[in-house]
Amino acid sequence: DQQVKQNSPSLSVQEGRISILNCDYTNSMFDYFLWYKKYPAEGPTFLISISSIKDKNEDGRFTVFLNKSAKHLSLHIVPSQPGDSAVYFCAASDEGNKLVFGAGTILRVKS
């Protein structure tokens, strides 16, 4: 039962362009959503989050959009940089005591 889905295993983007990573969820009880970035041999690093009462949150080059009716969120990275190349995980929580992760999307930013 995959409650959080990232349907694109990988994404390749040219440096300077926009990267859009997508995530769908099925559990309507989720009230908080997060994006993590992971480099090889490192743990996931928190990027940005959004509460279910909002539809957009912005932090520098990173913006997360939440569409509750569609149970969909997306992460926009503008402009994309080669250092952004990593695995990106979408995660959701409903009670604060656990995160449910998607399978991840590998982002490659080409210079």
Partner 1 sequence: DAGVTQSPTHLIKTRGQQVTLRCSPISGHKSVSWYQQVLGQGPQFIFQYYEKEERGRGNFPDRFSARQFPNYSSELNVNALLLGDSALYLCASSPPTGNYGYTFGSGTRLTVV
| Rounded least distance, CB 70 to partner 1, Å | 21
Closer to partner 1 at the Cβ: 15 or 68? Answer: 68
Specify whether the CB–CB gap between 79 and 17 falls below 8 A.
Answer: yes
CA distance 108 to 87: 9
C-alpha distances in Å from residue 30, one per residue of 6, 52, 96: 16, 8, 10
Query: Could you say whether residue 41 binds partner 1 (CB under 8 A)?
Result: yes
Query: Could you say whether residue 100 binds partner 1 (CB under 8 A)?
Result: yes
The mark string for 56-95 relative to partner 1 (x by CB under 8 A, - otherwise) is: ---------------------------------x-x-x-x
CA distance 100 to 98: 7
Closer to partner 1 at the Cβ: 41 or 111? Answer: 41
